[in-house]
């Protein structure tokens, strides 16, 4: 993908040069590349496939933002549209909702255009074209799995449409869309290589891992388990021994990464440090952890902090906890990227003191994943790659699908315990003999803490239909001792979350229904 950035730059440069030639202006539109001069060479095919990737990259720009519409992340300040979704105060005019519809369908249109035109090219390397077709079909599936999950029935468009045709499409049943996603990813996996020399592109493993996720979301347990097993059997992926460094520059392109977005500082960068890091290191604390996710991490002995025999001390709440807590969340007493100590207590008089500013975390916690000292001097210009799918998720998908199938065998426990017993995590193994219900709870907990701040919680609480249990109520933060030595817990002021079951499906955007009256609306909206 780093090479792809340069390729896209070439594409735009060619567009500019063509637009400057007066002889071409007489016959060819100067606001796009005409098919009369494009779709001639294999380079055109590469450039067009690269353009489809940009729509997936747009999703990565706000992928942690998915979690802020769940119970584990709070949006700060509360202006963004994700905050109103989290609070249950939104409708079909919400810009985040319309933006996700538009972005995904724009990606689908680009993919359909590629597949409709690529065979016009005079081919010298058929394997290249087959690979690019596989990548684009996988990308189109990526866009569709999000649409069908978010909106349910959606138009299933697989060819280029005219403007008039696009205003007459209707919503296809969700089942048909899930069927399409599954078959397309199978077809893509059949032609994609196990490894790509140009990292960041879809591989066989990425297509299968995406199918495993999609089928898990669709509740198609056997298909999810089978796809996850295929990824595991490829033998090219493994867990990085160090969870602590998993989201650092030194671990980019590790064997755990299955699909990511590749970034380059100064060329194609992101602002993840600025969004997540504490205010005292020149960042904005845009998405901050809640007490709920911090409390979810077990003690080092594997017991929940609510277990009377766990050894949990409310006055020293971060001691002897699952190591993934210290690797994922800045808590009071942690070292910051600049070497100073993070102190978010309200009376600390530091740059991170709760309540001292609107760009300070109102919960007293900050996300630590992706916050690297290399970006300290340029928090809005980061080159760290953002991971979309990693091997730990595949293992947990396999374990969950097997549990739902009631296939409670050693393979299930092995996958689950590999995640829990990563070298620098080493939580106690889950012993055999658990019931299906017990394993469901264990795996749901494991996904919550292992994949925290990676955009999965939003989808999980909706597909498990537990959002009505976990979303409503106040948002809380750190617990600390006040001047009288009494324990106090931060409550985000003026914020109460509510839930309505109609929210399990987003409303079809109002502007789309105004443009196309054939689009029906979801129940309750």
Element of type H or E holding 390: strand 386-390
Residue 341 three-state SS: strand
Q: What is the DSSP string of 143-155?
A: HHHHHHHHHSSB-
Q: How far apart are CA 300 and CA 23, in angstroms?
A: 72
Picking from 105, 203, 97, 89, the residue whose alpha carbon sits closest to that of residue 155 is: 105
Q: To which residue do tokens 């409550």 refer?
A: 491
Q: How many angstroms separate the Cα of 470 from the Cα of each of 71, 74, 145, 302? A: 6, 14, 24, 22
Picking from 149, 177, 98, the residue whose alpha carbon sits closest to that of residue 513 is: 98
Given this model, what pLDDT does residue 12 score?
Answer: 41
Given this model, what pLDDT does residue 76 score?
Answer: 86
Picking from 306, 361, 299, 311, the residue whose alpha carbon sits closest to that of residue 334 is: 361
Mode of pairing for the β-strands spanning 473-481 and 386-390: unpaired
Taking CA 273 as the corner, what is the angle to CA 272 and CA 274, rounded to the nearest 5 degrees? 90
Given this model, what pLDDT does residue 33 score?
Answer: 63
Calculate helix-pair angle for 204-218, 221-234, nearest 10 degrees. 160
Q: How many residues does the chain have?
A: 525
Q: How many angstroms separate the Cα of 414 from the Cα of each of 366, 429, 521? A: 32, 9, 44
Picking from 212, 267, 125, 522, the residue whose alpha carbon sits closest to that of residue 393 is: 212
Q: How many angstroms separate the Cα of 433 from the Cα of each of 408, 409, 437, 473? A: 8, 9, 12, 36
E-state strands within 90-231 = none
Q: How many angstroms separate the Cα of 408 from the Cα of each of 81, 221, 404? A: 41, 13, 9
- Tell me the two tokens of residue 502: 């109609």
Picking from 161, 268, 137, 314, the residue whose alpha carbon sits closest to that of residue 211 is: 137
Given this model, what pLDDT does residue 25 score?
Answer: 42
Picking from 339, 338, 341, the residue whose alpha carbon sits closest to that of residue 376 is: 338
Picking from 394, 232, 427, the residue whose alpha carbon sits closest to that of residue 325 is: 427
Given this model, what pLDDT does residue 34 score?
Answer: 64
- Tell me the two tokens of residue 75: 């949006």
Cα 490 off chain centre by: 28
Q: To which residue do tokens 């979801």 refer?
A: 522
Contact, 235 vs 221, CB < 8 A?
A: no
Contact, 215 vs 459, CB < 8 A?
A: no
Cα 302 off chain centre by: 27
- Can you give the three-state secondary structure of 40-53, one letter per residue? CCHHHHHHHHHHHH
Q: How far apart are CA 26 and CA 34, in angstroms?
A: 13
Longest dimension (CA), the chain: 82
Q: How far apart are CA 370 and CA 173, in angstroms?
A: 38
Q: State the 10-residue block means of pLDDT for the chain, 525 residues long.
A: 45 42 47 74 96 88 82 86 90 95 97 97 95 98 98 97 94 98 98 96 98 98 98 98 98 98 95 96 95 98 97 96 98 97 96 94 97 97 96 98 98 98 98 98 98 97 98 96 93 92 98 97 97
CB atoms within 10 A of CB 350: 18
- Tell me the two tokens of residue 245: 């460094």
Alpha carbons within 13 A on the beta-carbon side of 154:
30
Given this model, what pLDDT does residue 235 score?
Answer: 97
- Tell me the two tokens of residue 379: 């928090």
Given this model, what pLDDT does residue 65 score?
Answer: 84
Given this model, what pLDDT does residue 58 score?
Answer: 83
Q: How far apart are CA 302 and CA 361, in angstroms?
A: 29
Q: To which residue do tokens 């017993």 refer?
A: 421
Which value, to the nearest 10 degrees, does the dihedral of the CA atoms of residues 66, 72, 77, 81 take? Answer: 30
Phi and psi at 22, nearest 5°, equal: -65, -30
Q: To which residue do tokens 């709070």 refer?
A: 74
Mode of pairing for the β-strands spanning 329-330 and 487-497: unpaired
Q: Which residues contact 116 (CB under 8 A, 6 or more apart)?
A: 159, 160
Given this model, what pLDDT does residue 326 score?
Answer: 98
CB atoms within 10 A of CB 169: 15
Taking the chain, what is the end-to-end CA distance rounded to the nearest angstrom?
40
Phi and psi at 335, nearest 5°, equal: -85, 135
């Amino acid at each position: 993908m780093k090479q792809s950035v340069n390729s896209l730059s070439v594409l735009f440069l060619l567009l500019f040069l063509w637009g400057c030639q007066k002889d071409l202006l007489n016959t060819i539109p100067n606001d796009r590349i005409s098919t009369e001069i494009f779709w001639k060479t294999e380079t055109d095919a590469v450039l067009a496939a690269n353009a489809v990737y940009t729509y997936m990259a747009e999703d990565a720009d706000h992928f942690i933002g998915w979690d802020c519409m769940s119970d584990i992340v709070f949006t700060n300040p509360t202006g963004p549209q994700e905050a109103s979704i989290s609070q249950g105060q939104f409708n079909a005019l919400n810009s985040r909702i319309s933006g996700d519809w538009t972005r995904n369908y724009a990606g689908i249109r680009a993919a359909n255009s590629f597949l409709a035109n690529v065979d016009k090219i005079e081919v010298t390397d058929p394997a290249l074209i087959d690979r690019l077709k596989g990548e684009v079909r996988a990308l189109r599936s990526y866009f569709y799995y999000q649409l069908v999950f978010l909106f349910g029935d959606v138009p299933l468009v697989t060819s280029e449409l005219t403007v008039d045709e696009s205003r007459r499409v209707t919503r296809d049943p969700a089942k048909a869309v899930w069927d399409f996603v599954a078959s397309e990813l199978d077809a893509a996996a059949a032609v994609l290589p196990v490894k790509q020399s140009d990292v960041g592109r879809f591989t066989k493993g990425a297509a299968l891992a995406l199918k495993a996720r999609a089928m898990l979301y669709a509740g198609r347990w056997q298909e999810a388990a089978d796809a996850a097993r295929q990824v595991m059997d490829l033998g090219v992926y493994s867990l990085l021994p160090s969870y602590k460094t998993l989201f650092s520059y030194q671990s980019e392109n590790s064997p755990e990464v299955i699909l990511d977005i590749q970034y380059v500082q100064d060329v194609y960068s992101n602002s993840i440090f600025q969004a997540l890091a504490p205010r005292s290191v020149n960042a904005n604390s845009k998405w901050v952890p809640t007490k709920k996710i911090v409390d979810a991490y077990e003690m080092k002995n594997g017991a929940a902090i609510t277990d009377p025999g766990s050894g949990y001390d409310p006055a020293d709440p971060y001691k002897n906890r699952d190591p993934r807590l210290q690797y994922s969340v800045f808590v009071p007493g942690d070292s910051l990227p600049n070497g100073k100590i993070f102190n978010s207590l309200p009376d600390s008089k530091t740059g991170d003191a709760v309540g001292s500013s609107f760009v300070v975390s109102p919960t007293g916690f900050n996300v630590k994943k992706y916050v690297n000292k290399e970006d300290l001097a340029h928090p809005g210009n980061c080159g760290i790659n953002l991971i979309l799918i990693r091997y730990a998720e595949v293992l947990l998908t396999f374990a969950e699908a097997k549990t739902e199938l009631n296939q409670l065998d050693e393979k299930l426990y092995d996958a689950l315990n590999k995640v829990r017993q990563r070298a620098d995590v080493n939580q106690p193994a889950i012993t055999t003999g658990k019931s299906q219900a017990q394993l469901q709870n264990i795996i749901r907990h494991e996904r919550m803490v292992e994949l925290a701040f990676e955009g999965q919680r939003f989808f999980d609480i909706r597909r498990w239909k537990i959002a009505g249990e976990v979303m409503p109520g106040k948002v809380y933060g750190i617990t600390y001792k006040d001047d009288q030595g009494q324990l106090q817990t931060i409550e985000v002021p003026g914020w109460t979350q509510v839930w309505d079951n109609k929210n399990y499906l987003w409303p079809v955007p109002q502007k789309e229904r105004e443009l196309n009256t054939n689009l029906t609306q979801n129940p309750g909206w």
